[in-house]
Chains A and B, each alone.
Chain A
């Protein structure tokens, strides 16, 4: 038989503020301070079990939990969207454990936890962007041994990465890496920018916001302080290029944002929409209309509200 106990009014919560205990937070905070002092270097840390599976953003959550306080406003995005499962769950998690004030507006947020995108609206000084990183080691696919990659970073031996990019060019005529495109931070460490599209790489360079990276499963934390050089690796004759699209966003008409391709029927029709949901909504509210933006009132799906 299951006994249900109703907790009394004065019962203390079952866990500490922001879920992690103070000892763990201190450990993560010390790692973060060292990460900031050596931009792009991956600091090992004692990643904890979190109440969700590894690979669901446990690294980012632990970093956010270590930095969040009562005066923060938290925004969580997953592939640019505020309303996807992962983003909603993580937002709820911090609402419950840290009484966090949450927001979907990029400008209002002081902490932005992200999976796979940097918001389109430019980040400001004083904001912190926390990346969830599945694979913090950019060299891992080239060299599986941790002992070796550690030495390669120690001695700045990054020839292997250049060879990989060169082989891409030799075989395909261009670098085919489109996300998690390796960057050189502060002229010293080759770093994985987390699986953001290479479209977002230029936003990291000299960003006024502090960028923190947490990899829970791989137990690594790294950081890029504001106003730090972040250079996407390339060659003089094959300079780094970002993706471009032939048409603008179908909903808001934006020509400068990262677009997702959405298949809309079984005859091959498709539309391109902004991956950053808040950016797209803001533009539509400002009156920008994309070619495929339907009017719900005209189609009779909803009744028009009379003022």
Chain B
């Protein structure tokens, strides 16, 4: 139950994000979710897209440093306390979150939480045991 995510290195200079989204658009790649982690000197763009390998290839061809990693997508009802419930499980199971971000699906009924844990296998087991819904890559892109 892993979802492939691509990460792109960004120097802090103007226009880089626009350039990346432009390249993806030209190649008809759809972005399902994204987040940017930024420091004083650089940023890391994380993307979940419908065509992971193509996205990686075209960005590389355009000179970007691109990495592929696995994340976990957890679906929760889009209502108050949705995220809190998941994080409670994360805490009681002693899982270490490297980072997370979220988006709401088109119907607006559910929210999807994207997690990067340091121990992915343990996290998958724990979250499933707690009865949470984990989505596959195809499911995320089909939303």
Q: Say whether A associates with B.
A: no
B: residues with CB less than 8 A from A are none
A: residues with CB less than 8 A from B are none
